[in-house]
Each structure stands twice: as C-alpha cells, then as structure tokens.
Structure 1
Amino acid sequence: MFANIGWGEMLILVMAGLVILGPERLPGAIRWTSSALRQARDYISGATSQLREDLGPEFEDLRQPLSELQKLRGMTPRAALTKHLLDGDDSILTGKFDEKPVSQPLPTPAPAPAPPAVTPFDSDAT
C-alpha cells in the first residue's frame, strides 16, 4: 500500500502530524492508524478466503484475467521492447553483451571521392 512512499515522505508526514496533532496525541493517532490498517487487511484476506471457498475452482478462472492485467500494469516501454523485439535479451540496452571474436576480417571500405577544392559560386542565385 505504501510501496511508493520513501523515508523522506514518511519524515514529512510525521513532522506534519506532530505539528497538527501535537506530541501528546501523535502516538495514539499512529497506534489507531496502524490497528485500522491491520484490521482492514484482515477483513480483506477473510473476504478473499470466503470467496475462494464459495466459488471453488471458478475463483481461479476469475483471478486469471486479473493477473494478466497486473502483468500489463508492470510493462514498461523498456520491458515491452525487451520482451517483444529482443526476445528477452536486454544486453543491447544495458551494454553488457559478450563480444564475440570475429572469424573473418571485415572488408575495407572503398575510398570516397575527394570533394572539389573550390566551392562553386553562382552570383545570379543570390
């Protein structure tokens, strides 16, 4: 639930609670909040187990599309590129690919023609 909240945000919340509630009521508010979250988690797990008992094998049929949606939520552009275009090999994106020795030397390119020494100038064009 609070996976995206870091220590800095937690510190700001505690400081705001300290200013708003005061030092005498803050520990009670923290205890109440933690017990309410624990109780809500227990209710949710109880409801899930009750659904599992009532629906039986149909519960897994209900969970399958939800798990597929969860996989899509975690699909970042990099993960999609790696999965679909690179067949799961992200060595190109990370730069951690193994250099394989080349068995044949590469052909040398033909020399390009030299550019003209003086650039042509057309006084009528300007």
Structure 2
Amino acid sequence: MFPDVGPLEVVTLVILAVLLFGPDKLPGLIQNVSAFIRKYREFSENAQQEIRSELGPEFKDFDFEDLNPRTFVRKHVLDGDGLGLDGIRDALDPRQELTEVANAVRGAADDTAEPAAHRAANTVSLGKDTPAPAERPPFDHDAT
C-alpha cells in the first residue's frame, strides 16, 4: 500500500501512536479508523455503480481508471492499438509534406517552361550593371 514506508518507519509510527493515545484507547482508535475506511470504500463503490447505471448499457464496461491521464496515455498512445510513438513522430515530421510541395512546384514549373531562346530574352540580371569601359557613367546635374 505504501511502498516508500520501511519497517523501521512502521515501528516508529506504532510506538508514537502508543505514546500519544495510550494502550487503552489505541484499539478503539484502530476500530474507528478501519470502520471509516470500510465506509469510504462502500461509498465510492456505490457512487461508481450509480454512475455506470446512469450512463446506460453502452458504458457498462467503463473503467474509472481510464480517467487517470497516465493510464489514458499508456492505453491509447503507447499500446499498439493507437498511433504509437512512431506514428506521432511521423505525423509531426514536416519533411514529407515539404517534399510533396517542392515536387508539386517543380512539376508546375516544368509544365510552364518556355523555350530557351524566349527565356534568354526575358531574363533579368541580378548582378550590378557596369557600363562599358569606354562609356562615361551617367551624371545627373539635378541630383548633386
């Protein structure tokens, strides 16, 4: 029930309980605590049964442990029934979509390709235009 509590801690708690409540009141206290735990378990079982009956027959096999986020992730993501970690990783990887888009753009560019002579006449140089060496650069008198 408590995996972190060792035998030395249990002995310490028993000695502390005997010192605080005394040997004459300790059995009655243990009975009261056990009765409270029993009533709490009965109450929670009745509440679960009532919720199952209110939900209807399609939720008859509903397990309340599935509401725990860890259990939900373990059951639906990490098991083979769900996507799995590889499926999630592949779904979030943009490389495949980017490759498809790049191929579509290349295909559209190839479909509208112009002849080489026509393409050469319409090209625009992205470099700096330098005048011929014998030519004098233009001079704007209004700009100076």
| TM-score normalised over the length of structure 2 | 0.41
Point out the structure with the larger helix share. Answer: 2
Quick check: which has more Rg, 1 or 2? 2
TM, length-normalised to structure 1: 0.46
